Structure 1
């Protein structure tokens, strides 16, 4: 079967049987059209039975050449091709999975962006001036995060028993049940005391 014919049937299946949104359908159509144009541009066979992993890998290399294609976009195109391939297999249009073993390029890991001291001061000021039933809790949480380096889950799991106001320390139970004792910053102690008294 010709690629274009199979693609039209696949898109119809997504629209009628899977009830996909117009936006999702356009994404699938665009990704598959880009692949179809690659086949024609490189004078490759448009017959479904002639598709194989090496053709798909060549397509990925072609798309990623020059570094203009974002890995996330390529991941979406490969996902579209895999869905299309699975449909063709299910409908017995092809005998072999031409997407088997094809992996998408990894996305670049973005480094976290940290607040500078001025931004942190602005956040603290905003929290201190907020009048809300949960404002003390929010202020306590953010000041603890900023001054101790606690993880999000450690804040969630925190109990009053872990706080020692006399010695101004906090006992943290981290990953693998590892314990560490941290000093409580002078900026957070009065907030925690006020919050505890308000409960």
Structure 2
């Protein structure tokens, strides 16, 4: 049944490869647990007691509450699928509660550090240089996910309207505006790209490697870290930090939380509300610095 569920995620839900891999891995781990602790019991026949036993086992193996909750979420989706397809009558995860977890505040780059990077860093005036800058600008200027950046197609970028269309989680499409300055940068990049490949680049993706292939996650990680290393000392320096920075800076400058939710492509407001904590911490810092009795 696990394979059937994976096919459902792939072809009907059109989940991202990362999501499919995570769900598949979690379910195989649960299957391996059952094979050892309840031999002969298939995953679709497990009840809430077996699930709770697995949770205890994961906790004893020093898995974090956040990691365990993600695996619980996987089981919820799996058994919901089985129930909807009438393979089971009751969903055993209804009696399972998520663990209390302390979620760390999102890391983000301070305004001055980011502006110094984007305005003072000497990117080369050629295809690789324009590409590197465009990667950073799109993360910060549009707040897109890594997967969305990698899969961004040239035809889905509207320079006249300064918008782009991306396909996010669950294959949901959304339109994102970006600063006019990025439109100019894209024009320079596309021109340099044509010259670099002598007009022989057949890729429909906007951003490509020096060989003309689609970007891959590790290359983007290395690119972002390469530049952030020069201008910030925050612990985490990744593409997702740039997305966090986009959201945090919008909120700090008065953007409506619901608008930020839509820009980020979050399914619920709860996922966006984590950024309010960063803003609260910023307010506390300003208060302590400015108030005579602080």
TM-score of the two chains, using structure 2 as the length reference:
0.37
Q: Which residue of 2 aligns with 1:24?
A: 19
The answer as to whether partners of 1:71 and 1:107 remain within 8 angstroms in 2 is yes
Give the 3 Å change call, closer, same or farther, for CA 144–41 of structure 1 in structure 2. closer
Does residue 59 of structure 2 align to residue 64 of structure 1?
yes
SS of residue paired to 1:96: coil
Q: C-alpha displacement at 1:45, in angstroms?
A: 3.9
Does residue 87 of structure 2 align to residue 93 of structure 1?
yes
Q: C-alpha displacement at 1:41, in angstroms?
A: 1.1
The answer as to whether partners of 1:89 and 1:96 remain within 8 angstroms in 2 is yes
Q: Which residue of 2 aligns with 1:37?
A: 32
Q: C-alpha displacement at 1:144, in angstroms?
A: 8.0
User: How many Å separate the matches in 2 of 1:145 and 1:49?
Assistant: 50
Does residue 143 of structure 2 align to residue 149 of structure 1?
no
C-alpha offsets along residues 47-71 of structure 1, whole Å, 9 cap, x if unaligned? 35631111100010011114x2111
Q: C-alpha displacement at 1:42, in angstroms?
A: 1.1
- Root-mean-square deviation (CA, aligned residues, Å) is 3.6
Instruction: For 1:99-118, list aligned pairs within 5 A.
Output: 99-108=93-102
Aligned residues: 125
Give the 3 Å change call, closer, same or farther, for CA 48–148 of structure 1 in structure 2. closer
TM-score of the two chains, using structure 1 as the length reference:
0.53
User: How many Å separate the matches in 2 of 1:37 and 1:144?
Assistant: 48
Does residue 52 of structure 2 align to residue 52 of structure 1?
no
Give the 3 Å change call, closer, same or farther, for CA 36–49 of structure 1 in structure 2. closer
Q: Which 5+ residue runs of structure 2 have no aligned equivalent?
A: 107-111, 117-252, 254-281
Q: Which 5+ residue runs of structure 1 have no aligned equivalent?
A: 1-5, 113-122, 128-137, 151-169, 171-181, 186-199
User: How many Å separate the matches in 2 of 1:11 and 1:111?
Assistant: 32
C-alpha offsets along residues 63-98 of structure 1, whole Å, 9 cap, x if unaligned? 1114x2111111110000000000000000001111
Q: Which residue of 1 aligns with 2:206?
A: none
User: How many Å separate the matches in 2 of 1:146 and 1:10?
Assistant: 48
Give the 3 Å change call, closer, same or farther, for CA 20–58 of structure 1 in structure 2. same
